[in-house]
Amino acid sequence: KIVVLDGYTLNPGDISWDGLSKLGDLTVYERTKENEIIERIGKAEIVYTNKTPITKEVLVACPQIKFIGVLATGYNVVDTEAAKAFGIPVCNVPTYGTDAVSQYVFALLLNICHRVELHSESVFKGDWARCEDFCYWKSPLIELAGKSLGVVGLGRIGKRTAEIAEAFGMKVLAYDPHPIPDFESTNFKYVSLEDLYKNSDVISLHVPLFESTRGMINKDTISQMKKGVIIINTSRGPLINEFDLVEALNSGKIGAAALDVVETEPIHDNSVLLNAKNLFITPHIAWAPTESRARLLDIAINNLDEFLKG
């Protein structure tokens, strides 16, 4: 028996669950509220989740669970300590979204550089040459060639982002406590975090959220950055102190920022972020092109297949 607790995140109708149903008796729920989790898991031995929490309480109530699949890279929705204590393997999907997320970094960055939708909107309104609020001398278009991109966390997504940046003619400065093995064959320059903050025109965050990285972008680190720096965050919201970010955006210290992730998701109506200048926010969608969701499901199915084969 296989239960998917929140299939909506993965599949808005364009991906088939057939591969998973070949491995067992499959039930897919679109969304599951916290008070429905135990009942819906019922007697299932295999449980898949994306955002629905699998707590110790759930594991105690459903002792027949043999495998937990997380339909994502981040697996903080599962109490892994409790799962370990019960001897239940937890399997995430670490690689599926490298291209999607790094491509999305440039969707966000190029939007800041060119404001395509704003200019297109003006043309559709019949105003080819409207230059009141956003024309290129009030909101200058920005060329990336020759600019420095600071990549914080040169792992899978950071490295791919750095490679794309080089194709735009950018210089890459990277900070990572664990340099990639082949870095000498790249043009990436490893620098200290202080030097990265000091010398980058654009900073893109690709570091995981740990207690040590929580709030790493704050008043103090922002003060080390160039005036007008652009910040892109597709990693995890709590890496940034949102109050300090907004203050720096509104003062012009930070030129613009784009966030695919925020501290509390979904964002609150009264979030301080909603009062910021030159800020773009999208609802955690960097991972979600059809191709990468299909890849995610394939890998998740393969993980279960391998588990069932022992």
Which tokens sit at 200?
């980058």
Task: Please say which residue, 253 or 284, places its beta carbon nearer to ligand NAD.
Answer: 284
Which tokens sit at 299?
């890998």
Interface with ligand NAD in residues 202-221 (CB under 6 A): 206-208, 212-213
Task: Please say which residue, 212 or 270, places its beta carbon nearer to ligand NAD.
Answer: 212
The verdict on whether 284 is a catalytic residue reads yes
Sign of the torsion formed by the C-alpha atoms of 14, 18, 23 and 27: positive
State the minimum distance, in angstroms, from the CB of residue 201 to ligand NAD: 19
**Which of 156, 284, 293, 295 is the catalytic position?**
284
The reply to whether 197 sits near ligand NAD by the rule CB under 6 A is: no
Interface with ligand NAD in residues 216-245 (CB under 6 A): 234-236
Helices assigned H by DSSP within the chain: 18-21, 37-41, 56-61, 80-85, 98-114, 116-124, 156-167, 193-199, 219-223, 242-251, 290-308
Q: Cα separations (Å) of 187 from 163, 179, 232, 283?
A: 9, 13, 21, 33
Task: Please say which residue, 63 or 181, places its beta carbon nearer to ligand NAD.
Answer: 181
Give the per-residue contact string, 23-62, with ligand NAD (x = CB under 6 A; - = no): ----------------------------------------
Longest dimension (CA), the chain: 66
Sign of the torsion formed by the C-alpha atoms of 52, 103, 118 and 252: positive
| DSSP per residue, 179-232 | --TTGGGS--EE--HHHHHHH-SEEEE-----TTTTT-BSHHHHHTSPTTEEEE
Give the per-residue contact string, 59-98, with ligand NAD (x = CB under 6 A; - = no): --------------xx----------------------x-
The reply to whether 293 sits near ligand NAD by the rule CB under 6 A is: no
Which tokens sit at 233?
């965050």
The reply to whether 178 sits near ligand NAD by the rule CB under 6 A is: yes
**Which of 156, 160, 206, 236 is the catalytic position?**
236
The reply to whether 284 sits near ligand NAD by the rule CB under 6 A is: yes
Beta-sheet pairing, 254-259 with 26-28? unpaired
Binding site for ligand NAD (CB under 6 A): 73-74, 97, 101, 152-158, 175-178, 206-208, 212-213, 234-236, 260-261, 284, 286-287
Residues carrying an active site annotation: 236, 265, 284
